[in-house]
Structure 1
Amino acid sequence: MKKIVVAIDGFSSNGKSTMAKSLARAVGYIYIDSGAMYRAVTLYCIMHRLFDNDKNLDEGRLHNEINNIKIDFHLNSEGLPETYLNGENVEAKIRSMEVSGLVSRVSAIPFVRHAMVALQQEMGKAKGIVMDGRDIGTVVFPEAEMKVFVTADADIRAQRRYDELKSKGDTKTTYEEVLENLKARDHMDQTREEAPLRQADDALVLDNSHMTIDQQMQWLIDKFKQITTTDEQH
């Protein structure tokens, strides 16, 4: 069967990464979490004190050091990809609220996006990948054979994110803080000058506000089979 690129875009905390990972495993593709790459750059900035006490970023230093930031993915014992920053497994660290609160600012910087997009495009040259993010179907892979735009109500997305944080032992963050952070990220993602979040004209829309994970997976696999079968017939 001919290999394709699957681009999954959408708002934060709507389960994009979970569904992208599951789809990749189901069809034997490689999964790449583009959001994790921006989170890794953000973590680098935190670790190397590129933010001052007022959370202002030293973009000059970051520009000088961007080529020193090496990001790759390695499969864990369960066959799932985990994010590595300069050789260190940072999968847990990049999911913190501190990183979540700063990642939209870092990912809006043009030279950061250019560096990450070049890396993502290199990863996708051989096809047979599923990648999720904010601009995969519009900027990174505008020719992707399957594009999905995922959306869900903000309140539902905030509840999902809050439940996820609680399950990981976070007892400090409130639901209201999560909702506020999510709405701020939505606004920044949609209004940034460089590659803003938007639905590609040829994207399939998936509103998963009231869908189970099984229903989402069935929807994705059905669409994948339709597209790959159609491609083979042409």
Structure 2
Amino acid sequence: MKYFSIAIDGPAGAGKSTIAKIIAKKLSFIYVDTGAMYRAMALYFIRNNIMADDKDKIEEACNLVDISIEYMDGEQQIILNGENVTGLIRTEEVGNMASACSVYSKVRLKLVELQRSLAEKSNVVMDGRDIGTYVLPNANLKIYLTASSKERAKRRYLELINKGISADIDNIEKDIIDRDNRDMNREFAPLKQAEDAIVIDSSNMTIDEVADSIIKYYEKSVK
């Protein structure tokens, strides 16, 4: 049986994870949160006091990390060495570490194998930085989802404020721009638009509008 894969790439804060989850639910696909997998790896590094620029220790630690995905009540759970860390990986510190350590090929190769395996066994929606270009180059549908840095910073700012966390929108935008530069200029599998990807700029679109647009592309592709 041939399974269908949807790859959603784009910069930080473009809404990839939110959109991918909605699409997966509507299509009854499995949502594979690749960003969460990298964040789990980053959490392990932080807990073990490994610095982002310590390549040797990071590569050594990769051999000690096991990351898996489980579903509980229809919700994806990220398991790090047997511990459910789903509620611990969404901090700015973990996000920045995930971006910084993802430049190392050994980190990425360890996770890519699992991601490809999932796509071979199920219909999947996968989001990240290099899904359509590297992880799933033969994905049936590729989307490059983007938005302006100001709009992405605004979304993150409101998200933090709503959680009761104080934040500075200018610093958030600076972090986003810095992360974009790292992701786009890393040596191994950098963030870029796949040649056959459909570009969607969500700056002036609602979440539902973006999701509906991608589902229409899916429906067109399967006809």
TM-score by length of 2: 0.95
1:123 is aligned to 118
Specify the alignment match of 1:206 in structure 2. Answer: 200
Q: 1:74 aligns with which of 47, 50, 70?
A: 70
Query: Which of these residues, 180, 185, 196, is aligned with residue 191 of structure 1?
Result: 185
CA distance in 1, matches of 2:156, 2:218: 27
Q: List aligned pairs for 1:158-177, cutoff 5 A.
A: 158-171=153-166, 173-177=167-171
Q: Report if aligned partners of 1:4, 1:228 keep a CA contact under 8 Å in 2.
A: no
* Aligned match for 1:222, one of 194, 197, 216: 216
Q: 2:146 aligns with which of 136, 148, 151?
A: 151
Question: Are the aligned partners of 2:3 and 2:120 in contact in 1 as well (CA < 8 Å)?
Answer: no
Which residue of structure 1 lines up, in the alignment, with residue 34 of structure 2? 34
For residues 210 and 75 of structure 2, what CA distance do their matches in structure 1 show?
19
Displacement of 1:2? 5.7
What is the rounded CA distance, in whole Å, between the counterparts of 2:208 and 2:57 in structure 1?
Answer: 45
Letter matched to residue 98 of structure 1: E
C-alpha distance in 1, partners of 2:214/2:120?
22
Which whole-Å CA distance do the structure 2 matches of 1:180 and 1:102 have between them?
A: 16
For 1:181-228, what per-residue CA distance to the aligned partner results, in whole angstroms no more than 9, with x for missing partners?
101000000011100000000001111110111111210111111112
Partner Cα distance (1:199, 1:100) in 2: 22
Partner amino acid for 2:173?
L
In the TM superposition, residue 163 of structure 1 has moved relative to its aligned partner by 1.2
Q: Equivalents in 1 of 2:102, 2:79: separation in Å? A: 18
- TM-score (structure 1 length as normaliser): 0.91
Which amino acid in 2 is paired with 1:103? A
Identity of aligned residues (%): 40
Q: CA RMSD in A?
A: 1.5
The 3 A distance-change label for structure 1 pair 74 and 127 is closer
Q: Match for residue 62 of structure 1?
A: 58
Equivalent of residue 174 in structure 2, options 170, 180, 193: 180
Say which SS state the counterpart of residue 189 (structure 1) adopts: helix
2:158, 2:11 → 1: CA distance?
A: 17
**Rounded Cα–Cα distance in structure 1 between residues aligned with 2:162 and 2:70:** 24
What's the counterpart of residue 17 of structure 1? 17
AA in 1 matched with 2:153: A
1:123-147 per-residue CA deviation (whole Å, 9 max, x = no partner) reads 2112400000000000011011100
Q: How many matched pairs?
A: 223
**Runs of at least 5 residues in structure 2 that lack an aligned partner in the other structure:** none
Matched, 1:113 2:97: no
From the superposition, tell whether residues 36 and 105 of structure 1 become closer, same or farther in structure 2 (CA, over 3 Å). same
Corresponding residue SS for 2:127: strand
Match of 2:136 in 1: 141
Q: Which runs of 5+ in 1 are unaligned?
A: 230-234
